[in-house]
């Protein structure tokens, strides 16, 4: 028998000491990303001073819609939308400031009304095309302060005024007289001049649309555009709503007619015709 070999001892594992190789430096823990500062979230538009409000008013009111915004005519609709909303935020912030004078507040109201009108017109493809067409003809409406037309002067005369002579009948009143008589050709000539004198008037625009419809019908499409532009300037204009509703009934566009009649019932002094017309349409009848 061969002698048994002594069992070899397992090699002792080397003691682990400090590694001689350079360990890769451990990456510092990534700092958590900072949340937006609370001020950045809650901070609203800078509140303009009263002097800045007056400067805004002088720079914008009385100008065409593009000049009111301070943008060129070819500006894309999204940029116009953004500018209108920025101006509205600026003026609302100023309106909330209790230190403004009554005149400053009135000017803010005029500019807020103006920016709403500009936004409705220039962000709507059809209304903007009509506005641009009138711009090219030099007859585009401007952003006016309606108080100048609607508010009588408040200053008292030093002396009792002499009895005033009866005011001459306005062009619009004369034109409406011819419209009621069915003399639309005479009304049209007066309304064309009235439109040049006051291109921002929804009254003139609505009367011009109805007159054009009665003379030309669907030809040219100007009649509806005049009425739609009147309603852009004043969405609750009773005559604009009534006359456009009558056109839609004649065109057998009943859903549009019903919608206009529903609006008319809410704003008309005497909604009797609108109620009757809407009832007839709901029953499947005509006017």
List, as one string, the DSSP characters of 153-164.
P-PPPSSPPPPP
237-258 per-position pLDDT tens digit: 999 999 999 999 988 998 999 9
DSSP 142: B
DSSP state of 43: -
* Residue 8 located in a structural domain: no
pLDDT digits (tens, 9 = 90+) for 75-121: 999 999 999 999 999 999 888 877 888 888 889 988 998 898 899 89
Q: What are phi and psi of 151, to 5 degrees?
A: -100, 120
Same domain, 226 and 257: yes
Domain count, the chain: 2
Q: Does some domain include residue 145?
A: yes
Give the DSSP letter of residue 64.
Answer: B
- Euclidean distance between CA atoms 152 and 115, whole angstroms: 24
Q: Is 69 exposed, middle or buried (0-12, 13-18, 19+ CB in 10 A)?
A: buried
C-alpha–C-alpha distance, residues 287 and 284, integer Å: 10
Q: Are residues 175 and 278 in the same domain?
A: yes
Tell which of 117, 149, 181 closes a domain: 149
Expressed as residue numbers, the domain containing 59 is: 45-149
CATH code of the domain containing 235: 1.25.40.10
- pLDDT-derived band of residue 29, with 50, 70 and 90 as boundaries? low
> What tokens does 270 get?
């005497």
Task: Tell me how far apart the alpha carbons of residues 164 and 151 are, in angstroms, rounded to a whole number.
Answer: 19
């Amino acid at each position: 028998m061969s002698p048994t070999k002594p069992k070899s001892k397992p090699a002792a594992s080397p003691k682990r000491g400090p590694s001689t190789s350079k360990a890769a430096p451990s990456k510092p823990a990534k700092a958590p990303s900072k949340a937006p500062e609370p001020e950045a979230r809650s901070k609203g538009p800078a509140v303009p001073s009263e002097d800045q409000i007056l400067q805004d008013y002088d720079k914008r009111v009385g100008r065409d819609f593009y000049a009111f915004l301070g943008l060129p005519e070819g500006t894309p609709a999204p940029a116009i939308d953004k500018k209108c909303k920025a101006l509205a935020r600026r003026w609302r912030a100023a309106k909330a400031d209790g230190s403004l004078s009554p005149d400053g507040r009135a000017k803010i109201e005029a500019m807020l009304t103006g920016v709403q009108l500009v936004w409705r017109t220039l962000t709507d493809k059809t209304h903007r095309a009509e506005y641009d067409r009138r711009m090219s003809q030099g007859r585009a409406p401007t952003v006016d302060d309606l108080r100048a037309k609607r508010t009588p002067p408040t200053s008292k005369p030093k002396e009792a005024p002499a009895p005033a002579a009866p005011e001459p009948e306005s062009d619009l009143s004369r034109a409406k007289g011819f419209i009621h008589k069915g003399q639309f050709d005479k009304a049209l000539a007066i309304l064309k001049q009235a439109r040049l004198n006051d291109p921002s008037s929804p009254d003139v625009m609505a009367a011009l649309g109805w007159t054009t419809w009665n003379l030309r019908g669907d030809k040219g499409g100007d009649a509806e555009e005049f009425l739609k532009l009147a309603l852009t300037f004043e969405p609750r204009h009773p005559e604009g709503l009534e006359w456009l509703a009558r056109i839609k009934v004649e065109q057998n566009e009943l859903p549009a007619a019903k919608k206009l009649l529903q609006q008319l019932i809410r704003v008309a002094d005497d909604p009797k015709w609108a109620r009757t017309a809407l009832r007839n349409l709901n029953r499947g009848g005509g006017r």
